[in-house]
Amino acid sequence: PLGEAEVALTREKLGWKYGPFEIPADIYAQWDAKAAGQAKEAAWNDKFAAYAKAFPQEAAEFTRRMKGDMPSDFDAKANEFIAKLQANPAKIASRKASQNAIEAFGPLLPEFLGGSADLAPSNLTIWSGSKAINEDTAGNYIHYGVREFGM
């Protein structure tokens, strides 16, 4: 790192008369995006309010997902699945147990998204509701191709 003397010389050479971490008002004003952001947020809120009037169920579902709330019936159905597992314990591979959980919870969560590299048949990440995401359609399953692409 530069020492204090080198920093002072660099500031002098550049004609920089401001202190460390001080942003000149004219530069700050050019980069300040608060007003533009507030305007865009207000426009979005107006559009979403109109959407919610036209499509109340879809808007409610969007809001639920954005808040991170679970569907209203999730707890009951999840507890039912867990109770069945507890009543009938099975010795299965963890990847199979994972697939069983995905099969149970996937249909309850429309926002559920998964994927795998080229090992999906052996790691059992594909479930009956899987639909591959590609350039033409929406889906809920990503074929990464290479493990690191999903990281």
Q: Where are the domains of the chain?
A: 72-151
Question: What's the pTM value of the predicted model, to 2 decimals?
Answer: 0.70
Distances (CA, A) of 88 to 81, 93, 107: 11, 15, 22
- Homologous superfamily of domain range 72-151: Thiamin diphosphate (ThDP)-binding fold, Pyr/PP domains (3.40.50.970)
pLDDT of residue 143: 87
148 closest CA partner among 109, 99, 112, 115: 115
CA-to-CA distance for 109 and 73, rounded, in angstroms?
Answer: 10
Point out the residues of the chain with pLDDT beneath 50. none
pLDDT of residue 151: 64
C-alpha torsion 96→100→102→103, nearest 10:
130
Catalytic positions, written as ranges: 148
pLDDT of residue 134: 87
